[in-house]
């Protein structure tokens, strides 16, 4: 299989002068996490992720980021101020395994597919999940798809409690380089937060503190955590885990046995398993 077999071909793009508001609206409207920034010739010159938008603007519009003391907008206003450069590119006809290797080795979440200098597609970490359920031949045995999540999960799971502050979650995520935190109470799983949830809340607190000290509040994890939690068991196969992630549009699944949290498996863990299967 080639990258263009799993990539998105109808790519939504941005202009460097587009507003942060436009980028946020496009992601919300289309349910996407990455937007390539292109020049007049449709060549990619930057990439904006939802994490970029959350860190820079907290998913807030310009009017919600106005400093009442001087009328200025808190944070950047246009895409070129926050886009990541240079853009990692590959050819649409490059192999699936080559793209997965690049994504893992360079710790990136999206690769622009370019042919003759123009954008032809976009492949993201989530797109590789299709390989776990696709019946087309990858030129290798499919046995790897039926390995158990127990063999690929992270068994050391960092957790916090509902009353913990979002700043505590942000610090823990940064120090441990993780993107998801299960929330527990009395050793029972009651929610989960992603780095996206946390970045949005942290920026919201920052804006509120600058706008009006009296109205600012501490946001706790109970205010932002997802209570509808998709979980799997130790015996769940990688293919089933990938299928669950795609159906629920999540990128991490806590692993629960007899109501006890035993681990967590993420899209990155599945991508590592995919690459390992090709290397073996």
Residue range 107-129: average pLDDT? 93
Contact call for residues 263 and 157 (beta carbons, < 8 A):
yes
Quick one: pLDDT at residue 80?
96
Domains of the chain, by residue range, sit at: 3-133, 144-267
Residue 45, judged by CB atoms within 10 A of its CB (0-12, 13-18, 19+), counts as middle
Minimum mean pLDDT among 32-36, 184-188, 202-206: which range?
A: 202-206
Round the average pLDDT of the chain to a whole number and report it: 90
What does the pLDDT average to over 125-133? Answer: 86
CB burial of residue 265 (10 Å; 0-12, 13-18, 19+): buried
pLDDT recorded at residue 211: 63
Residues 6+ apart with CB under 8 A from 232: 149, 240, 241, 244, 253, 254, 255, 256, 265
- Give me the sign of the Cα torsion angle 174, 175, 177, 178: negative
Length, in residues, of the chain: 280
pLDDT of residue 216: 57
Higher pLDDT, 217 or 167: 167
Contact 194, 165 (CB under 8 A): no
| Residue 142 CA: distances (Å) to CA of 106, 123, 272, 278 | 26, 22, 15, 11
Do the first three CATH levels of 3-133 and 144-267 match, i.e. the same topology? yes
Helices 195-211 and 166-176 meet at what angle, rounded to 10? Answer: 130
Where residue 56 falls among pLDDT bands split at 50, 70, 90?
Answer: confident
Using CA atoms, how far apart are residues 132 and 144, in angstroms rounded to an integer? 9
19 pLDDT higher than 80? yes
Say whether pLDDT at 181 is over 60. yes
Asked if the model's pLDDT at residue 234 lies above 90, the reply is: yes
From the options 3.10.580.10, 3.30.70.20, 1.10.10.10, 3.90.1150.10, give the CATH code of 144-267: 3.10.580.10
Helix intervals (H) in the chain: 20-30, 50-57, 96-105, 166-176, 195-211, 221-224, 238-248, 267-279
Q: What is the pLDDT of residue 111?
A: 97
Give the span between the Cα atoms of 238 and 152, in whole angstroms. Answer: 9
Q: Does position 40 have pLDDT exceeding 90, yes or no?
A: yes
CATH number of 3-133: 3.10.580.10
pLDDT in tens, 57-105: 888 788 878 877 777 888 899 999 999 999 999 999 999 889 999 999 9
């Amino acid at each position: 299989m080639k990258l263009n077999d799993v990539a998105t071909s109808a790519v939504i793009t941005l202009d460097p002068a587009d507003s942060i508001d436009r980028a946020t609206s496009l992601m919300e409207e289309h349910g996407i996490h990455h937007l390539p920034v292109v020049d007049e010739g449709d060549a990619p010159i930057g990439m904006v992720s939802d994490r970029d938008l959350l860190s820079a603007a907290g998913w807030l519009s310009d009017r919600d980021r106005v400093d009442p003391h001087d009328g200025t907008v808190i944070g950047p206003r246009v895409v070129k101020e926050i886009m990541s450069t240079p853009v990692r590119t590959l050819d649409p006809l490059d192999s699936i395994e080559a793209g997965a290797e690049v994504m893992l080795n360079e710790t990136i979440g999206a690769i622009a597919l370019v042919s003759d200098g123009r954008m032809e597609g976009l492949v993201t970490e989530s797109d590789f999940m299709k390989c776990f359920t696709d019946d087309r031949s990858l030129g290798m045995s499919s046995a790897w798809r039926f390995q158990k999540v127990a063999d690929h999960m992270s068994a050391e799971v960092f957790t916090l409690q509902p009353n913990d502050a979002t700043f505590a979650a942000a610090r823990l995520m940064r120090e441990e380089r993780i993107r998801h935190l299960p929330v527990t109470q009395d050793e029972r799983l009651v929610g989960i937060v992603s780095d996206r949830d946390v970045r949005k809340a942290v920026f919201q607190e920052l804006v509120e503190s600058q706008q009006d000290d009296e109205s600012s509040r501490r946001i706790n994890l109970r205010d932002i955590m997802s209570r509808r939690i998709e979980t799997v068991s130790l015996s769940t196969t990688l293919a089933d885990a990938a299928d669950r992630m795609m159906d629920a549009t999540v990128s991490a699944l806590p692993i629960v046995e007899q109501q006890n949290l035993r681990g967590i498996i993420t899209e990155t863990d599945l991508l590592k398993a995919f690459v390992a299967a090709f290397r073996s």
